Chain A
Amino acid sequence: MKLALPPLTRTHWLLFALFLATAAASGFFAGRFVENARHWSETPQEPIKGWMTLGYLAHAYEVPVADLHQALDLPPEPPDRRPLAEIAEERKLPLDALRLRLEHAIAMARGEVARPPPSNGASEAEP
């Protein structure tokens, strides 16, 4: 007694195509997962995103929150709790412009970039 493989119908091919598509999607997300994990282990520093508040950034980068307020010309008190995207929108600036200023302020607070002399510090804080 032998089993005969039935001729492949359109349904078989459709299921096979779906199988390949979902397997490919699975591989794609596995690749991204591995890439994320590798990136996180190599550079554990957070990328600056629009949802982040100045408080969160100060916490993540371990810098004084007042320095970040100063970088955006905001008064340190009361602390600004808005996400960066909202601050950028209010100022009609692209988020990247704020990101550059904050990255510079973070680098200064960590001593990676020399602080400007106190006399003209405010103007030279701009990147």
Chain B
Amino acid sequence: MSEELVDLVVDHGAIALFGILIANCLGMPFPTSLLLMALGSFVGQGEMELWPLLFAGISGAVIGDQTGYLLGRLGGNLVLHRLTRRPRAARTFDKAEALVWRWGGPGIYFSRWLLSPLGPWVNLATGLTRYPWPRFAIWDFLGLSTWIGLYFGLGLLFSRSVQSLADLTDNLTWMLLFTLLTLLIGWLLLRRLRKEATAKVVTPASDPPPDTEVR
């Protein structure tokens, strides 16, 4: 896959990068870290020009993310329409919405570059929960500029070690992502256990049945 992407950009220039990043931000799992660092290295060797690539890369990624957000928003309207008939589900949706609104900014920013596999899902989630578009656009632009600028910069700086660096950053990304998931699931489990334990508060007046284990 990497060779096809590099070949496309070497042959067709910035316009190919534009298309690749639109598809990537919509969920196509392309090895874009390696591609961006390889292009950074090519720029460093004087084989390609930086500014058209930078402009096309950021524009393509912004369009891809905005499309994802729009799809989520359209889907959100349909979901809301159905939820009006199911109050319990509507309450759950309201909770999810509050969570996304609370963590939306950093979530959008870090899912552009540090936790990039989450990017397309965050776009859908923010659109679905009607996260304000201007805030989405600003955080998205900041995150994408960080992503593309950082990876081009790494390619320029370590222009002789692109493959080794891409392996390193890929493993770092997945490690961080799974660590975050582990913490989240651990927190959910603990919260659930604590909540249920609190609900079953045993006072000295209410004796537990003989077969119930009390700790």
Are B201 and A3 within 8 A (Cβ)?
Answer: yes
With both beta carbons as reference points, the residue of chain B lying nearest to A49 in the complex is identified as: B163
Are A1 and B201 within 8 A (Cβ)?
Answer: yes
- A 2-59 contacts with B by CB, 8 A: 2-6, 11-12, 15-16, 18-19, 22-23, 25-26, 29-30, 32-33, 36-37, 39-40, 44, 46-47, 49-53, 55-56, 59
Q: Which one of A68-76, A81-89, A104-112, A117-125 is at the B interface? A: A81-89
Q: Pick the residue among A2, A5, A19, A82 that contacts B7 (CB under 8 A).
A: A82
With A36-B168, A51-B34 already in contact, the answer to whether A4 and B7 are too (CB < 8 A) is no
Are A83 and B6 within 8 A (Cβ)?
Answer: yes
Within the complex, what minimum Cβ distance (angstroms) separates B73 from chain A? 30
Residues of B within 8 A of A15 (CB): 185, 188-189, 192
Within the complex, what minimum Cβ distance (angstroms) separates A56 from chain B? 6
Q: Does B133 contact A (CB under 8 A)?
A: no
Interface size class of B (residues with CB under 8 A): 35 or more
CA A86 to CA B214, docked complex, whole Å: 68
Q: Does A93 contact B (CB under 8 A)?
A: no
Q: What per-residue 1/0 map shows which CB atoms of B181-208 lie under 8 Å from chain A? A: 1100110110011001111111110001
User: Interface residues of A, CB < 8 Å — how many?
Assistant: 44
CA A40 to CA B165, docked complex, whole Å: 8
Q: Does B91 contact A (CB under 8 A)?
A: no
Within the complex, what minimum Cβ distance (angstroms) separates B191 from chain A? 10
Are B215 and A5 within 8 A (Cβ)?
Answer: yes
Q: Does B212 contact A (CB under 8 A)?
A: yes
19 contacts across the A-B interface (CB closer than 8 A): A2-B202, A3-B201, A6-B193, A6-B200, A18-B185, A22-B185, A33-B171, A36-B171, A44-B161, A46-B160, A51-B3, A53-B6, A55-B47, A56-B38, A56-B41, A60-B161, A82-B10, A83-B7, A83-B10
Interface residues of A (CB under 8 A from B): 1-6, 11-12, 15-16, 18-19, 22-23, 25-26, 29-30, 32-33, 36-37, 39-40, 44, 46-47, 49-53, 55-56, 59-62, 81-86
The 3 tightest CB contacts between A and B, nearest first, are: A26-B178, A29-B175, A85-B3
